[in-house]
Amino acid sequence: MSMSILYHAFGIKGVTYRSTYYLGNAVFFRVETTDHHVLCPKCGHRLCIFRGRKTRWLRMPPIGRKQAILELNMHRLQCKKCIHLWWPQFPFMQGMARYTRFFALTVLDLLRSWTIRAVAQYLHVSWDVVKKIHKSRLSTKYRKINLKDVKYIGVDEFSIRKHHKYMTIFIDLQTGRVLHAVEGTKKENLAPFLKTLSRRKKQLKAVAMDMSASFAAALKEYLPDVSVVFDRYHVMALMNRKIDSLRREQQRTLDAEGKRNLKGSRFLLLRNYHSLSEKYQTKLNTLLDANQTLFTMHLMKEQLRLFWRQGTRDRADKFFKQWCFDALMSGIKQLISVGITILRRRSSLLNYYPHRITNGPLEGLNNKIKTLKRQAYGFRDMEYFKLRLYDLHTSKYAFTG
């Protein structure tokens, strides 16, 4: 083993190679610091003496099937001129970590296709060491996220623990990248990011979001010149909740035969009609023929989906007004309620037209977050969890851990 291999394969330089020995399943490379001509950090003088010594053992990338350890015999340095004392540092070291820089780089290489657990097992280190290396890399990478080219943002909330713990996530709708994640959904939780956004955005045109009032209020305060687009997905979800409420109400009040017809109809009513197979379409038609109220509600739901296919804002506006009129005049409580809700948000719905954005990309993200949530580690360290979210767009691997 020569100094040349230690340098080229393991990035070790600035020290002198002494010997190699084997212990257990590891190969140890003993090296020593020998340089007297080191710049004094205090006065800049370039000559020192050795005063005191210690040995450190640093893990290196493995060799073949053996673990590799650098045994570093260090001499403390003392400046000949100003008697300042210090321990030397080398680029192959990572502060006080018990591994070398090349070891950390190997961990990052392996994490591109392996899980944390697999990397930890292969390198004979703990899960936490691998996580720490990954976290440190990600926090450097995402210290500052580029916001100046972002045109469209989607905002949504995700439950991160059972029972009312929510996280708000902002994504770039054009690239699918997570721009920011924050615990909580209240205005004060969102304010810091919105302030940053208002300073750094150059191109931002519109934000797609659900119909929650707190998002809209926060946005109006910090980004008054950015359009709000109430997202198609959330509008249709509202409509579906109301259909379901009507269905349950009917189930309670109908006679035995009506109840039998309604049984098992939930998914028929909530799915898009055209995505149902012929068999289910027939089944749904039979149900709706016998139930005038559900028929109207269902028809109005299918109609409402056409709002996003109107081509121009003017046509959409005309369509919207007619739909709301029909809803308000329908005499069906649930339908009237949808009509009132969306009528109040007319301009934000119509904002779809110049921008044509939806939170579709966020729905895909939802599944990835669910996978991440299943990993217990996700929430032991919230900072790390967020960094993993920012890094999602790069991950080819299956997000397990």
Q: Considering the rule CB under 5 A, would residue 84 count as an interface residue with Zn ion?
A: yes
Piece of 40-48, 118-126, 237-245, 350-358 that binds Zn ion (CB under 5 A):
40-48
| Closer of 40 and 138 to Zn ion (Cβ) | 40
2, with CB counted inside 10 A (0-12, 13-18, 19+), is exposed
| Closer of 43 and 299 to Zn ion (Cβ) | 43
| Closer of 49 and 340 to Zn ion (Cβ) | 49
What's the closest the beta carbon of residue 47 comes to Zn ion, in angstroms? 9
What's the closest the beta carbon of residue 36 comes to Zn ion, in angstroms? 13
| Closer of 81 and 234 to Zn ion (Cβ) | 81
Piece of 80-88, 184-192, 196-204, 266-274 that binds Zn ion (CB under 5 A):
80-88
Binds Zn ion by CB under 5 A, chosen from 74, 79, 268, 332: 79
SS3 99: strand
| Closer of 42 and 141 to Zn ion (Cβ) | 42
What's the closest the beta carbon of residue 84 comes to Zn ion, in angstroms? 5
First to last CA, the chain: 36
Q: Considering the rule CB under 5 A, would residue 40 count as an interface residue with Zn ion?
A: yes
Are 159 and 166 spatial neighbours (Cβ–Cβ below 8 Å)?
Answer: yes
What's the closest the beta carbon of residue 41 comes to Zn ion, in angstroms? 8
Whole-number Å distance between alpha carbons of 385 and 369: 10
DSSP one-letter code for 80: T
| Closer of 43 and 329 to Zn ion (Cβ) | 43
Whole-number Å distance between alpha carbons of 111 and 122: 11
Q: Considering the rule CB under 5 A, would residue 80 count as an interface residue with Zn ion?
A: no
What's the closest the beta carbon of residue 35 comes to Zn ion, in angstroms? 16
What's the closest the beta carbon of residue 28 comes to Zn ion, in angstroms? 34
The β-bridge partners of 93 are: 100
Piece of 78-86, 94-102, 247-255, 323-331 that binds Zn ion (CB under 5 A):
78-86
| Closer of 9 and 39 to Zn ion (Cβ) | 39
What's the closest the beta carbon of residue 48 comes to Zn ion, in angstroms? 8
Piece of 21-29, 38-46, 144-152, 169-177 that binds Zn ion (CB under 5 A):
38-46
Neighbours of 202 (CB within 10 A): 9
| Alpha-carbon distances, residue 111 vs 67, 105, 138, 238 (angstroms) | 18, 10, 12, 41
- Which amino acid, one-letter code, is at 350? L
| Alpha-carbon distances, residue 355 vs 108, 146, 235, 313, 358 (angstroms) | 39, 21, 17, 11, 9
Are 334 and 246 spatial neighbours (Cβ–Cβ below 8 Å)?
Answer: yes
| Closer of 35 and 183 to Zn ion (Cβ) | 35
Q: Considering the rule CB under 5 A, would residue 45 count as an interface residue with Zn ion?
A: yes
Piece of 44-52, 104-112, 265-273, 291-299 that binds Zn ion (CB under 5 A):
44-52
Q: Torsions phi, psi of 182, nearest 5?
A: -145, 145
Binds Zn ion by CB under 5 A, chosen from 23, 43, 47, 340: 43
Whole-number Å distance between alpha carbons of 154 and 352: 13
Number of residues that bind Zn ion (CB under 5 A): 8
Q: b/e string for 169-198 if b means 16 or more Cβ within 10 A?
A: bbbbbeeebbbbbbeebebebbeebbeebb
Q: Considering the rule CB under 5 A, would residue 39 count as an interface residue with Zn ion?
A: no
Are 231 and 154 spatial neighbours (Cβ–Cβ below 8 Å)?
Answer: yes
Binds Zn ion by CB under 5 A, chosen from 1, 23, 47, 82: 82
The β-bridge partners of 19 are: 30
| Closer of 89 and 292 to Zn ion (Cβ) | 89
Query: Rule CB under 5 A: which residues touch Zn ion?
Result: 40, 42-43, 45, 79, 81-82, 84
